[in-house]
Structure 1
């Protein structure tokens, strides 16, 4: 049975207030709105019904549970703090509201299983068909880190496109025109974990559009592949080789771990950062400030992304919200020593 404490968490009041309202304490002074909210939460969690009918049904037992499904592997989560912190944010906020989390493995999850949960959180780029199928069985669907998902679902994402433009604006102010981009590819997956089709990362698209708008389309240089240091190292080597005597004066990297590969490739070729090539990145991992030189990057509050996702789930479960919301978590540009003003020739 749902506990008084669980109802209090979801209703945003003290357990004592819940107890007195549910026991019809006439001496209790509480606003009609608060009383209604407590009763609504209790009813949604089958508080009285469960008490009268005995043991909870499987469906009732999942009222305070959230299923988490992610496209990325555990290895990538360990290697990339962006995903690890999203997961930590989810766990922290779920603990605040007494939600039970269950992470389901791709290939082992069924739609029938997802129908039982209070809400479903997906992390990453699932196919449109997969999200539509999940939504049919559980409309408390929160989509995290998928800029391309339908707006009929609750969406939580970063402002990567805006910040890419801001980074390019800053580099332009520093007289950079030969700006290259090294990023990753996004492949959508289904519930079986099978890759379906390729999507362009919003940072890649924003870079290409910005360069074109600013009359720099002839300077566009894009290298995309997997999100690893090894790929970034090889991509940088290819970029330097293909550039000949016209090296880019700046490289934008889609993630800090990839920037480590970029740094290594440039250092092995005795190309100085930032004297010859400036580097700007995304993530602001802890190591970024200790790299040599310290890495200019976009700070992303990944922890807050996870927490917001759970708050949206809470509103769906306890408040009965039906209207889909799109939440953009703002990030912040951090300028360090890996960028310098370029001398225009």
Structure 2
């Protein structure tokens, strides 16, 4: 595991700057360029498969280097460049996809949602994020080959890769239950217009929380805090946690499940500002295991979504479709519990 010192050295900034960037310190007056550099270096140094591939390339100088006549792959991301910095989940997927494309010998052409001149000329397109159904259908009709990473829309004639967030949520809740927590809150948000589904809430994480706690007779409406049509970023989480604390007053939960790691960071910020200690008074659980999650204070317990594999798998599917078209495929990747310092058994004296 790379240390903050390693990241600072590679990024060419101070250790303090790295720590504050990775902890989303709102008082830090760093440029967007500096923040991006820190996040990208953190991803690179914690990208284990990439390190292994670099060693393999030492024996083959031509491996992974596109030639002058190499075919091009298009990459379009749901998040803008600035929005990627608010939740680096999609940045992690993108970086992995770009590396895999180079390994396969492709040139990578990046397109924005607003500017797509020449998109018909590439061999295929990898779309990363929660695009609207209309946008996906537009891409599907425009490009010869399409793979979408991170969308929950039904399949038509394109391939799709996602993480099994139903499994991830069950793993997270089981961890908290096994520690002895029964008052488990949920703080999340849903970007509803970009999601498909026939239930009131669209994300697997939200619905599994409801279903699982209701099945155990542990669901309490006041501990269920979800904002619709909102981004899953640190600032939104801080505002929702502030609202939740005012609602709960002295009747605090012993644990909070966050919709993702960015939300978990915002929750920890707000609890710390209110002198509520994590995990002694309230345990905080994330989902995703971003590269930054091990560096926050306290280090975040979470469920790992294999973002690098998502990017690689998506690029592999697109490569296969270009060379051997077949039926559309939907692939869900498994997840894994990562226990760090933000969760512990409930302290009944503190609550």
Contact 1:126 1:188 in 2 (8 A): no
* In the alignment, structure 1 residue 119 sits paired with structure 2 residue 124: yes
Could you say if the C-alpha distance between residues 94 and 286 of structure 1 is closer, same or farther in structure 2, counting changes exceeding 3 Å? closer
Aligned counterpart, 2:329? 325
* In the alignment, structure 1 residue 183 sits paired with structure 2 residue 185: no
* In the alignment, structure 1 residue 107 sits paired with structure 2 residue 122: no
Could you say if the C-alpha distance between residues 78 and 211 of structure 1 is closer, same or farther in structure 2, counting changes exceeding 3 Å? same
Using structure 2 for the length normalisation, give the TM-score: 0.71
Aligned length: 274
Could you say if the C-alpha distance between residues 248 and 151 of structure 1 is closer, same or farther in structure 2, counting changes exceeding 3 Å? farther
Aligned counterpart, 1:212? 214
Radius of gyration: which is bigger? 1
Aligned counterpart, 1:92? 99
CA distance in 2, matches of 1:86, 1:310: 10
CA distance in 2, matches of 1:108, 1:126: 15
Spell out, residue by residue over 1:122-172, the C-alpha distance to the aligned partner (whole angstroms, 9 max, x if none).
Answer: 111222233223223435210110123425421111121211011111211
1:284 shift after superposition: 2.2
CA distance in 2, matches of 1:322, 1:135: 15
Contact 1:275 1:340 in 2 (8 A): yes
Spell out, residue by residue over 1:206-264, the C-alpha distance to the aligned partner (whole angstroms, 9 max, x if none).
Answer: 21222222222335412333222222112111111101221111111122232222112
Aligned counterpart, 1:171? 176
1:332 shift after superposition: 1.4
Aligned counterpart, 1:132? 137
Could you say if the C-alpha distance between residues 169 and 81 of structure 1 is closer, same or farther in structure 2, counting changes exceeding 3 Å? same
How well do the aligned residues superpose, as a CA RMSD in angstroms? 2.5
1:199 shift after superposition: 7.1
* In the alignment, structure 1 residue 237 sits paired with structure 2 residue 237: no
- 1:1-345 matches, within 5 Å, as 64-109=71-116, 113-150=118-155, 152-188=157-193, 200-219=202-221, 220-224=223-227, 225-318=230-323, 320-342=324-346
Could you say if the C-alpha distance between residues 286 and 310 of structure 1 is closer, same or farther in structure 2, counting changes exceeding 3 Å? closer
1:180 shift after superposition: 1.3
CA distance in 1, matches of 2:178, 2:298: 21
CA distance in 2, matches of 1:79, 1:231: 10
CA distance in 1, matches of 2:318, 2:234: 35
Using structure 1 for the length normalisation, give the TM-score: 0.72
CA distance in 2, matches of 1:107, 1:324: 27
